């Protein structure tokens, strides 16, 4: 099924079940379709609770969870792994729901059209861009890649990688450390860890933003430890947990200097 077929099946179901369906169901379902599309139509994908609630303007956690469970019960979504709380990601899959009856909706829509009007306007539908050779893109120097070269399903991770790469370079410059290794990093080295954090580790964009703010803050310790996105993936849990408490060990500065000097 493609996006149109998922949409069609949902509205067929909605039309014959107006007593069940609420706006929150449509919002969550179509956000799930959008996320699946951005991730390259993965069969199973992470669906972070805080990200979905923020994007959809849902403030009540129980309302969100109840509506999500309804979509599972109605066989539009499938649980792969349920989150333990609102701060961890669910892993779900879109279900190819073919049980909804479409005849009622088709008949209702047809009665609204007393005649057909031929339009002279054209509609341009944006197509997902796929590079000719993804392996070639992976090996290219990250700093020399244009945004237009990036597949749509990589754009979110690419933008976060750009943001962190800028920050790593700034932190290295402030310490007078060599920049060559960071400047020569490949596309795969910068982007893959971000994709894995989001898709497999349950790291939300809110977590990434918090990590960015901590690495851009006054605490110097982590600036000497986390100098690429791969290390960010390894240490993001500790960074966020410890970032709320000031580091008071005097020897930390010496450790940071050692890390930076041995980086290149």
82 backbone dihedrals φ, ψ, rounded to 5°:
-85, 140
- Domain identity same for 83 and 29: yes
Give 141's contacts (C-beta < 8 A, 6+ positions apart): 184, 185, 186, 187
Where does a domain end: 100, 120, 146? 100
139 & 215 share domain? yes
Do 83 and 170 belong to one domain? no
Q: How confident is the model at residue 173 (pLDDT cuts 50, 70, 90)?
A: very high
Domain-embedded: residue 221: yes
- Lowest mean pLDDT: which of 55-59, 64-68, 152-156? 152-156
Residue 91 lies in a domain: yes
* pLDDT at 130 > cutoff 60: no
Q: Are residues 206 and 162 in the same domain?
A: yes
pLDDT at 117 over 60: no
Residue 127 resides in a domain: no
The answer to whether residues 94 and 169 belong to one domain is: no
pLDDT, tens only, 84-111: 766 677 899 999 876 655 555 555 555 5
Mean pLDDT across 30-39:
91
Mean pLDDT of 222-250: 79
- Let me know if residue 41 belongs to a domain: yes
| Token duo for residue 107 | 């008949």
CATH (domain of 63): 1.10.10
Q: Which domain holds residue 16?
A: 3-100
pLDDT band at 1 (very low <50, low <70, confident <90, very high): low
> What b/e string do you get for 43-81 counting C-beta neighbours within 10 Å, with b at 16 or more?
eebbbbbbbbbeebebeeeeebbebbebbeebebbeeee
Task: Please tell me the predicted confidence (pLDDT) of residue 99.
Answer: 63
Please say if the pLDDT value at position 44 is more than 60. Answer: yes
Distances (CA, A) of 138 to 180, 226, 228: 19, 22, 16
Asked which of 85, 100, 115 is the last residue of a domain, the reply is 100
What are the C-alpha distances in Å from 194 to residues 16, 55, 111, 190, 247? 42, 20, 50, 7, 26
Residues 21 and 138 in one domain: no
Task: Report, as an integer, the average pLDDT of 214-226.
Answer: 89
Per-residue pLDDT, 106? 55
Mean per-residue pLDDT of the chain: 80
Identify the H or E element spanning 9.
helix 3-16
Distances (CA, A) of 93 to 37, 105, 187: 12, 26, 28
Which of 42, 77, 100 is the last residue before a domain boundary?
Answer: 100
More confidently predicted of 2 and 70: 70
Q: Which residue has the tokens 């039309």?
A: 15
Residue 121 lies in a domain: no
């Amino acid at each position: 099924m493609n996006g149109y077929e998922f949409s069609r099946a949902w509205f067929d179901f909605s039309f014959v079940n107006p007593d069940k369906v609420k706006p929150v169901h449509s919002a969550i379902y179509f956000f799930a379709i959008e996320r699946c599309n951005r991730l390259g139509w993965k069969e199973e994908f992470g669906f972070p609770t805080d990200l979905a609630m923020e994007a959809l303007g849902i403030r009540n956690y129980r309302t969100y969870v109840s509506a999500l469970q309804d979509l599972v019960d109605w066989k539009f979504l499938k649980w792969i792994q349920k989150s333990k709380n609102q701060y961890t990601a669910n892993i779900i899959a879109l279900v190819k729901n073919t049980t909804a009856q479409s005849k009622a909706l088709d008949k209702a829509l047809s009665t609204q059209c007393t005649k057909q009007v031929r339009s002279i306007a054209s509609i341009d539908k944006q197509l997902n861009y796929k590079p000719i050779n993804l392996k070639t893109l992976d090996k290219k120097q990250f700093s020399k890649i244009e945004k237009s070269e990036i597949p749509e399903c990589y754009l979110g991770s690419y933008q976060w990688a750009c943001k962190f790469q800028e920050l790593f370079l700034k932190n290295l410059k402030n310490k007078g450390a060599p920049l060559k290794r960071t400047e020569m990093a490949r596309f795969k080295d910068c982007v893959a860890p971000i994709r894995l954090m989001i898709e497999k580790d349950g790291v939300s964009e809110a977590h990434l933003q918090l990590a960015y703010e901590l690495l851009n803050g006054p605490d110097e310790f982590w600036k000497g430890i986390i100098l690429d996105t791969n290390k960010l993936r390894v240490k993001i849990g500790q960074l966020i947990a410890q970032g709320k408490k000031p580091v008071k060990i005097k020897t930390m500065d010496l450790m940071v200097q050692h890390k930076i000097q041995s980086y290149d």
